[in-house]
């Protein structure tokens, strides 16, 4: 992992879709939009599998 990459855990994905926490939702969405679109976000397969059960 390089210095400009970030590891996102399950909370980032949950808050990106959680409208009950608008402040956290906006932060998570901005992180995914700004850094994710530039390939700077790292997600483990464990994080993605954890989200599958919450969908």
Q: What is the mean pLDDT of the chain?
A: 83
| Residue 47 structure tokens | 């994080």
What is the predicted pLDDT for the residue at 20?
Answer: 96
Tell me the C-alpha distance between 28 and 18, whole Å: 10
User: pTM for the whole thing?
Assistant: 0.70
What is the predicted pLDDT for the residue at 54?
Answer: 56
What is the predicted pLDDT for the residue at 2?
Answer: 66
Lowest mean pLDDT among 1-10, 11-20, 31-40, 44-53: 44-53
Q: How confident is the model at residue 26 (pLDDT cuts 50, 70, 90)?
A: very high
Tell me the C-alpha distance between 27 and 38, whole Å: 17
Q: Exposed, middle or buried: residue 55 (CB in 10 Å: 0-12, 13-18, 19+)?
A: exposed
């Amino acid at each position: 992992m390089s210095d400009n990459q970030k590891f996102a855990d399950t909370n980032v994905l949950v808050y990106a879709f959680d409208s009950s926490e608008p402040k956290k939702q906006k932060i998570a969405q901005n992180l995914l939009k700004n850094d994710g679109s530039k390939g700077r976000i790292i997600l483990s397969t464990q994080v993605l599998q954890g989200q599958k059960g919450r969908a």
